[in-house]
Amino acid sequence: MNVLIRRMKETDIDDMTKVYLDSFKGMRDPESVEKWIRCNFNAYPRMQYFVAEIDGRVVGYILWVEKGGFRKEAVLELEQIGVLRDYRGQGIGSKLIIKSLEEMKKYLMGRGSKLKLVEVTTGTSNQAQKLYIKTLNAKPECLIKDLFRGDELIMIARF
Ligand X SMILES: CC(C)(COP(=O)(O)OP(=O)(O)OC[C@H]1O[C@@H](n2cnc3c(N)ncnc32)[C@H](O)[C@@H]1OP(=O)(O)O)[C@@H](O)C(=O)NCCC(=O)NCCS
Summarize as ranges the residues that interact with ligand X (CB under 6 A): 23, 81-83, 88-94, 122, 126-128, 130-131, 134
Contact 73, 114 (CB under 8 A): yes
CB of 86 to ligand X, least distance (A): 11
Taking the complex as a whole, the smallest distance from the CB of residue 158 to ligand X amounts, in Å, to 19
Q: What are phi and psi of 57, to 5 degrees?
A: -110, 135
Rounded to the nearest 10°, the torsion over CA 128, 133, 135, 141 is: 90
What is the closest distance, in whole angstroms, from the C-beta atom of residue 122 to ligand X in the complex?
4
119 C-beta neighbours (distance < 10 Å), count: 17
For residue 101, the surrounding DSSP H or E stretch is helix 92-110
| Minimum CB distance to ligand X, residue 114 (Å) | 25
Instruction: Rank residues 113 and 126 by Cβ distance to ligand X and give the closer one.
Output: 126
Q: Toward ligand X, which CB reaches closer, 84 or 104?
A: 84
The SS3 assignment for 12 reads: helix
- In the bound state with ligand X, the residue whose beta carbon lies nearer, of 19 and 104, is 19
CB-nearer residue toward ligand X: 92 or 108: 92
Nearest residue to ligand X, by Cβ distance, number only: 93
Comparison of 90 and 113: residue with beta carbon closer to ligand X = 90
Distances (CA, A) of 133 to 92, 97, 126: 16, 11, 13
Q: How far is the CB of 1 from ligand X (least distance, A)?
A: 11
What Å distances lie between residue 110 and 17, 65, 106, 107, CA to CA?
A: 31, 17, 6, 5
